[in-house]
Amino acid sequence: MWHYKNLGDAMLAGPELNQIKHSAGANLRLFVRYITKYGLHCEVIVYFPPEAKSVAKQCLATPCVAPNESDLTAL
């Protein structure tokens, strides 16, 4: 099962995003999606594939269906 975590505004998400990358290490691939709402700011959503379940749990990520991977960027 996939998981996701919305980090909020991209301008403020850097420290938490770096912490998540550090927790995942080099062996796990995580993905991000940048979503623009109302044309004002961009939100960062991190997606954790099933093999990153332990990191997702540590980050308090929410379970979700598998996202369309063509919309994702590797973290």
Contact 67, 50 (CB under 8 A): no
At residue 8, φ and ψ (nearest 5 deg) are 80, -150
Contact 45, 6 (CB under 8 A): yes
Residue-wise pLDDT for 4-61, tens only, equals 999 988 888 989 999 999 989 888 999 999 988 776 778 999 999 999 999 999 999 9
Distances (CA, A) of 64 to 1, 35, 40, 46, 68: 7, 17, 26, 12, 12
**Tokens for 42?**
């961009």
At residue 69, φ and ψ (nearest 5 deg) are -65, -20
Q: What is the pTM of this model?
A: 0.89
